[in-house]
A = this chain, B = another copy of it.
Amino acid sequence: MQHFITNDDLSLEITTAVIQRAHAMAQSPADFQNLARHQQLATLFFEPSTRTRLSFTSAMHSLGGTVLGFESSSSTSTAKGESLIDTIRVVSQYVDIIALRHPQAGAAQLAAKYASVPVINAGDGAHLHPTQTLADLTTIDHYKHRLNHLTIAFAGDLKYGRTVHSLVQALMRYGQNRFIFVSHPTLKIPVTLRAQLVAKNIAFEEVTNFAAINVPLDALYMTRVQAERFATPAAYDEVKDAIQLTPAQRNLLTPETLLLHPLPRGHELPTTFDTWPQAHYFDQVKAGRFVRMALIETLLAQNH
Contacts and interface: CB of A to CB of B under 8 A. Distances in A.
Contacts of A69: 54
B264 A80 contact: yes
A94 B55 contact: yes
A196 interface: no
Contact of A51 (B61, B67, B77): B77
A264 B38 contact: no
A143 to B, nearest CB: 16
A286 B55 contact: no
Interface in A50-99: 50-51, 54-55, 57-58, 61-62, 64, 66-72, 75-77, 79-82, 85-87, 89-91, 93-95
Contact of A90 (B68, B82, B263): B263
Given A51-B90, A264-B86, A68 B57 contact: yes
Interface residues of A, number: 49
A77 B285 CA distance: 14
Contacts of A42: 54
A177 interface: no
Q: How many copies does the complex hold?
A: 3
B71 A61 contact: no
Contacts of A55: 94
Interface of A: 30, 33, 38, 40, 42, 48-51, 54-55, 57-58, 61-62, 64, 66-72, 75-77, 79-82, 85-87, 89-91, 93-95, 226, 263-266, 271, 282, 285-286, 289
A101 to B, nearest CB: 12
A62 B38 CA distance: 7
Nearest to A228: B80
